Structure 1
Amino acid sequence: MKKLPILALLILILGCAKEQPDLIVKANIKGLKKGTVYLKKIKDTTLVTLDSVIVNGNAEFELVTPLDSPEMYYLFLNKNSNQDEAIAFFADKGITEINTTLKNFVFDAKIKGSAQHSKWEEYKAMISRLNERNLDLIVEKFEAQKSGDTAKLNAIETENNGLLKRKYLYTVNFALNNKDSEVAPYLALTEIYNARINFLDTINKALTPKVKNSKYGKELQIFIDGIKKSNTNKK
């Protein structure tokens, strides 16, 4: 048998090798026997399916997709009912592991993956405390309206405005302190998109070149340019 030249052998090996997907989601949904799981993302304001798997007895599975830039993805579970549930996670190239349960699909989710997801979880932990207080204020406002307590209503309004300001300032500071993460422009676009333009501009100008060139970095620039153009036209 003739020996293959080294170059030809290398080409043969590389040709047979499978190309690794950009993003691999390894998931385990404890208690799931039957159902369909979807990997989705938002494209042009619409949720699109990137991959899916029909689960029939094996609660462990993998989903894959190309990925150009770190982005928010969603793991949707259809339990053969009319109601879908979704786990949101910030993904980058590589492997993301999601472990959860059928009973509490969203709330039991443990996610191990990108550095961006860890940053997003850090942000959510602080914001959740502000959101909880906001929910309390809604209940207090309802009770004050029933009793006609004007003084209480004014106090609630003042505190609510303060909470909103704290959320905006915390988000701006978090984005500035993480200007090298794609989470920064994402938060500007989703959490404080209706903030004053100078807040958004400050975040945008602070982003590192890599982040400015990311999906959310480019979208933030377009969003800010649109606001400035609109403001100019109003003059």
Structure 2
Amino acid sequence: MKKIIYILLSLVILACSKEQHDLTVKVHVNGLKKGVLYLKKAKNDNLITIDTVAVNGQSDITLHASSLESPEVFYLFLDKNSSEKDQIVFFADKGLTEITTSVKNFGFGAKINGSEQQKVFEEYKLMRTRFNEQNLDLIKEGFEALKKGDTSEYNTIQKKSDSNLKRRYLFTVNFALNHKDSEVAPYLALTEIYNAKVKFLDTINSVLTPKVKASKYGKELQGFIDKIKESEK
């Protein structure tokens, strides 16, 4: 009996001694032979490293993060022992996130399977890409107009560019309102339209569900709005 109790106590101690992780990120990078992967997140306007894995031949890598109180954005960086660095931005919740990508298209061709917030985030990014592509086309057209010295055409293009920006802002506001139960909503308000009129930020903040309001980005959005209002007094 004493031996059984000793074994059970040993198992309990062993289990308690193991580090507990809120988030596990499994990464598969096709073509990666050597380099370093960094898992990072934002803290006080800086990116801090949460976990690091040196790669030397293996293509399957596992990284971890602890103390994840609510869903938030993480950054996966690849340093290929050169001057070139790539990154993947993803929304993670507690549990498992799986990322499959390649060395060649590390930051652009990644497939991410994980949180519900990531699905919403990808939906937004798809539309944002369309706005960005339109803006790049307008910049190119504006440059050509300047080369020709056509001020009238350039001014017309600038108006189109301003209109495109307003449409992106309004789309972001509507997207956040339609996803008030997702932590992606306050995150977009803080990162995509932080310089918009405070009434837009206030509108998003007012409809967030209690759970989202209590999240990391929900609290940050409330604090951000409070600061703006205080500075306007």
Aligned residues: 230
Question: Cα distance, 1:82 vs. partner?
Answer: 2.3
Match of 2:167 in 1: 166
Q: Distance in 1 between matches of 2:177 and 2:9?
A: 47
Partner deviation per Cα, 1:77-111 (whole Å, 9 max, x = no partner): 11111222111111110100011111111112111
Q: Does 1:79 align with 2:80?
A: yes
Match of 1:32 in 2: 32
Q: Distance in 1 between matches of 2:168 and 2:12?
A: 52
Match of 2:54 in 1: 54
Of the structure 1 ranges 80-89 and 196-205, higher mean CA displacement relative to structure 2 is found in: 80-89
Q: Does 1:116 align with 2:117?
A: yes
Q: Distance in 2 between matches of 1:46 and 1:192?
A: 19
- Alpha carbon RMSD of aligned pairs, Å? 1.7
Q: Which amino acid aligns with 2:49?
A: T
Match of 2:153 in 1: 152
Match of 2:209 in 1: 208
Change (3 A) 1:11 1:204: farther
Any unmatched runs of 5+ in structure 2? none
Of the structure 1 ranges 14-23 and 167-176, higher mean CA displacement relative to structure 2 is found in: 14-23
Question: Cα distance, 1:115 vs. partner?
Answer: 0.5
Match of 1:185 in 2: 186
Any unmatched runs of 5+ in structure 1? none
- Per the normalisation by structure 1, the TM-score is 0.93
Change (3 A) 1:163 1:13: same
Q: Distance in 2 between matches of 1:111 and 1:164?
A: 28
Q: Does 1:218 align with 2:208?
A: no
Change (3 A) 1:10 1:68: farther
SS at match of 1:164: helix
Question: Cα distance, 1:39 vs. partner?
Answer: 0.4
Change (3 A) 1:48 1:2: closer
Identity, % of aligned pairs? 61
Of the structure 1 ranges 175-184 and 145-154, higher mean CA displacement relative to structure 2 is found in: 145-154
Q: Distance in 1 between matches of 2:108 and 2:30?
A: 13
Q: Which amino acid aligns with 1:214?
A: S
Question: Cα distance, 1:11 vs. partner?
Answer: 6.1
Q: Distance in 1 between matches of 2:10 and 2:211?
A: 36
Q: Distance in 2 between matches of 1:210 and 1:19?
A: 28
Q: Distance in 2 between matches of 1:182 and 1:204?
A: 11
Partner deviation per Cα, 1:9-46 (whole Å, 9 max, x = no partner): 87654443345410000001111111111101111111
